[in-house]
Amino acid sequence: MPKIRVGLVGIGNCASAIVQGVYYYASRGDCEGLIHCEIGGYRVEDIEFVAAIDVSQHKVGRDLSEAIFAPPNLTPRITEVPRLGVTVARGAVLDGVAPHMADVFKPAPGRDPSLDEVAEALRGADVVVNLLPVGSEEATRFYATAAIKAGAAFVNGIPVFIASDPEGVWPRRFESAGLPVLGDDVKGQVGATITHRMLVSLLRDRGVKVEATYQLNVGGNTDFLNMLVEERLKSKRISKTRAVTSLVDYGRELEETGGVRIGPSDYVPFLGNTKVAYMYVRGRGFAGFPLTIDLKLTVDDKSMCGAVLVDAIRAAKVALDRGEAGAIPEASAWYFKHPPVQAPSDAEARRWLEEWLATDKRLASSNSPGPRD
Ligand SMILES: NC(=O)c1ccc[n+]([C@@H]2O[C@H](COP(=O)([O-])OP(=O)(O)OC[C@H]3O[C@@H](n4cnc5c(N)ncnc54)[C@H](O)[C@@H]3O)[C@@H](O)[C@H]2O)c1
């Protein structure tokens, strides 16, 4: 198989998990812990890193193999990563660094590069993966444009609505350029979103009406530190909330009546990359009798991200190989919290993906309805 040449934007803890994951699986030769061993014939070890961009003084100018371990990253070393010959280029700060993160992500000296310079830094990549801090609205649009200029597919790991742009502007931009875009906002391997969706689907499928639900998440990495500021969380809350409320036809009503609260809830430094999610669902079943579910999920937050992104990168390359362009809803619903089309269940999202992977035709021509019907 040819290699999948990847450019990473934001060399934080997720990037560290992805880069290390590729070398971890290359050294083992097995697929334990992966969602898919192969996607379109591509294995995880077919991913190759060709470009990397960050702004931090600790990361810019260093080889990617070193930058992934530079502070404030705290993803542990799980495997040996050879020197990659990929120097982290300085990106444009824009709104990537919030005022309260100015010391943590302290930008390297020098001016912000132009769009053309960033596109040049990304040239040669088949797929660009966006891993900026939550709230990087302007910066995400900047790098999405740079990816288009560089001729690369775009995988948007964060809650800025590019693949799922409600106006459809961004999907059309990628379509005009003949490039696919997948997103938005990674849904962890067995993270809080997919678990919460399972709980609500269970109640829905068993005839129980959900009356109130919350999902409170805490963690101790820079992702959670960045998310302490509520104004950076607008899209994140929409992304996480809709992922759950879209499962029931009274979801919007539940939101409007204050029956839902979902999102990052605090920063607890000693937790590091451990994320704890507290989920509560209260509903009424037969003859109005109440039931409640209280669930606590503890995961390594960045392994959750890595597991999904090594799939999404390969799915983006499959779309690129097939000449598919614009938003790819079939490859987004299973992997992202806020996809262009939200599936009625995760089983259905998975079916969309598997049928799409199995056929060269769009799902519109399949017997069962897909996201384009
Ligand atoms: N399970 C998960 O980890 C998960 C799930 C869904 C979404 N996400 C999102 O993925 C993103 C990445 O997560 P992370 O834990 O790696 O974050 P992180 O805080 O570890 O890393 C962010 C990186 O972006 C860099 N950066 C800031 N502004 C920049 C700019 N303008 N240009 C280039 N680089 C810039 C920072 O220096 C830092 O290295 C976050 O938005 C996170 O919310 C993660």
pLDDT per residue rounded down to tens, the chain (373 residues) = 899 999 999 999 999 999 999 999 999 999 999 999 999 999 999 999 999 999 999 999 999 999 999 999 999 999 999 999 999 999 999 999 999 999 999 999 999 999 999 999 999 999 999 999 999 999 999 999 999 999 999 999 999 999 999 999 999 999 999 999 999 999 999 999 999 999 999 999 999 999 999 999 999 999 999 999 999 999 999 999 999 999 999 999 999 999 999 999 999 999 999 999 999 999 999 999 999 999 999 999 999 999 999 999 999 999 999 999 999 999 999 999 999 999 999 999 999 999 999 986 444 455 677 898 8
Question: Which residue has its alpha carbon closest to ligand 1 atom 22?
Answer: 12
Query: Can you say whether the dihedral through the CA atoms of 20, 44, 157, 263 is positive or negative?
Result: negative
Strand 274-284 with 290-300, pairing:
antiparallel
Cα of 372 vs centre of ligand 1, distance in Å, is 31
pLDDT at res. 369: 78
Token pair recorded at residue 233: 């969380």
Name the class of domain 4-187+303-358. alpha beta
| Shared fold status for 4-187+303-358 and 192-301 | no
- Rounded Cα distance between 232 and 222, Å, is 14
Residue nearest to atom 21 of ligand 1 (CA): 12
pLDDT recorded at residue 96: 98
Name the amino acid, one letter, at 268.
V
Pocket of ligand 1 (CB under 6 A): 9-15, 53-56, 59, 91-94, 96-97, 105, 131-134, 139, 157-158, 185-186, 188, 191, 221-223, 226, 301-302, 304-305
Taking the C-alpha atoms of residue 11 and residue 271, their distance in angstroms, rounded to an integer, is 20
161 within 8 A of 338, measured Cβ to Cβ: yes
pTM of the model: 0.96
Domain boundaries, the chain: 4-187+303-358, 192-301
Residue 188 CA, closest ligand 1 atom number? 1
| Mutation test residue for ligand 1: of 14, 54, 140, the one with most atoms within 8 Å of CB | 14
- Residue 347 phi, psi (nearest 5): -65, -40
pLDDT at 1: 84
Residue 152, classed as helix, strand or coil, is coil
Nearest CA to ligand 1 atom 24: 10
Residue with tokens 């070193």: 66
Distance of alpha carbon 25 from alpha carbon 33, whole angstroms: 10
Nearest CA to ligand 1 atom 39: 12
Give pLDDT, residue 227.
Answer: 97
Buried b (16+ CB within 10 A) or exposed e, 111-122: eebeeeebbbbb
Rounded to an integer, what distance in angstroms lies between the CA atom of residue 208 and that of residue 343? Answer: 20
Ligand 1 atom closest to 53 (CA):
33
Cα(190)–Cα(304) distance, integer angstroms: 7
User: Which superfamily, per CATH, for 192-301?
Assistant: Dihydrodipicolinate Reductase; domain 2 (3.30.360.10)
Residue nearest to atom 43 of ligand 1 (CA): 134
The C-alpha R_g of the chain, in whole angstroms, comes to 20
- Which of 9, 54, 101 maximizes ligand 1 atoms within 8 Å of its Cβ, making it the mutation to test the pocket? 54
Closest-lying ligand 1 atom to the alpha carbon of residue 275: 1
Q: Distance, CA 14 to ligand 1 centroid (Å)?
A: 7
Question: How many helices and strands (H and E) does the chain possess?
Answer: 12, 13
